[in-house]
Structure 1
């Protein structure tokens, strides 16, 4: 989609936000991702674009409004470089993250701020591309969980460890976080060699039947 076509989807507030970006690339990323989000929400909800609006929690997490009422859908969006990721679920908290696997000049600071002592110790034994690959897998899983939790910096990523069964080999699994009592999270890794990506979705309370579990899986657009 061209940027001028994307802008047609945006409302007045979104166009104002778009115009405040200083650099072309993030401005274009915002317009394309927001237009894609609106188009996909219209498809999921069976509505027109002018019936959609967004509201935000005090922590900045957005949710959809349909005809001035909360829409029966949860979504989350992430973008990095040329990659964007949008996911939807009918209910339950949801978070996604995507990151290009590129070297970062502040990598050591990110490792210290994002990873637990166990994760930092494992990375210390790795080098080059292998170290970078694991870091981005852990980072995107943690960012997806933080965004799903929805309380911003209240969830300290360095205080929980991603189980090796999820960060190595397996594409996903479930886990609980000590800082988010009473919640269980289903995590899926979606990345490739070029980018890391993850989705985190709150598991509904109580026993799930197979049809309920399948219906509750996030719909993902990359």
Structure 2
């Protein structure tokens, strides 16, 4: 069983394409679902989407069971008024995101946490979105970059904003310009609008590039500590054999570019 505390955050990464190619594994995931999850699964029109949803729910349930003596199928979830899911009768905090063929799950204890992943090849009018929704200082920083670097920087900013708003549980309706991020000298610096009533020192942000394909950001909040949480990355293979056991993956670090927040990968 894994141990985790409020000064630690674990990030689980699931390769949805590899899971989808293993029908026997997918079949084993069905008994883990709640009635509500099983009903939602049937509403997906395409097999690929069904497979991704099934594997993602299996990841959430099996990963959480690594921290507590609770069977994957026995976890019970509820939603806050804003729709953010949480665990009933558990101090664990978690957040989920998926894009393309990757799903990521962040887990900590007692504190707020948010995670977001985006596929860098996703076709978007990223400059138009930034000019319309981002803070002016972020737009200026984007325009100051060489054109070839702008889209990667946009997704770094986007995932940081999403991770922060997901941690708060408010979503983008809060306003993407209310939290402005600046990536300088290997660190994430954040500024918040006064109406958010945020104590900046209580928030910690991380951004990574997963291979050449994905931007990944994490937002973690602690009201009791100003020290950034220690991060550990894991690869998730729900209900897989020992051949693909869920274990710390030092090799994954080689797939991640240097973190924007320094010193967090031990």
Same fold by TM (over 0.5)?
A: yes
- C-alpha distance in 1 between matches for 2:85 and 2:108: 14
Q: Which has the higher contact order (CA 8 A, sep 6+)?
A: 2
Following superposition, the deviation at residue 8 of structure 1 comes to: 2.6
> Aligned residues, how many?
208
Partner in structure 2 of residue 150 of structure 1:
169
SS at match of 2:97: strand
- C-alpha distance in 1 between matches for 2:132 and 2:87: 31
**Which of 35, 38, 43 is the equivalent residue of 2:66?**
43
Partner in structure 1 of residue 220 of structure 2:
201
Partner in structure 1 of residue 192 of structure 2:
177
* 1:62 and 2:85 are equivalent in the alignment: yes
Structure 1: tracts of 5 or more residues without a match: none
> 1:33-91 CA distances to partner (integer Å, 9 max, x unpaired)?
111010011111221123311101111110112xxxx2110000001011111111111
> 1:96-151 CA distances to partner (integer Å, 9 max, x unpaired)?
00011114143344323442111112223445541111011111111100100112
Partner in structure 1 of residue 105 of structure 2:
86
Following superposition, the deviation at residue 189 of structure 1 comes to: 1.2
Following superposition, the deviation at residue 218 of structure 1 comes to: 5.5
- C-alpha distance in 2 between matches for 1:34 and 1:146: 22
Partner in structure 2 of residue 187 of structure 1:
205
Question: For residues 136-147 of structure 1, what are the structure 2 equivalents within 5 Å?
Answer: 136-147=155-166
Structure 2: tracts of 5 or more residues without a match: 1-18, 20-24, 236-266
- C-alpha distance in 1 between matches for 2:126 and 2:114: 23
Partner in structure 2 of residue 28 of structure 1:
51
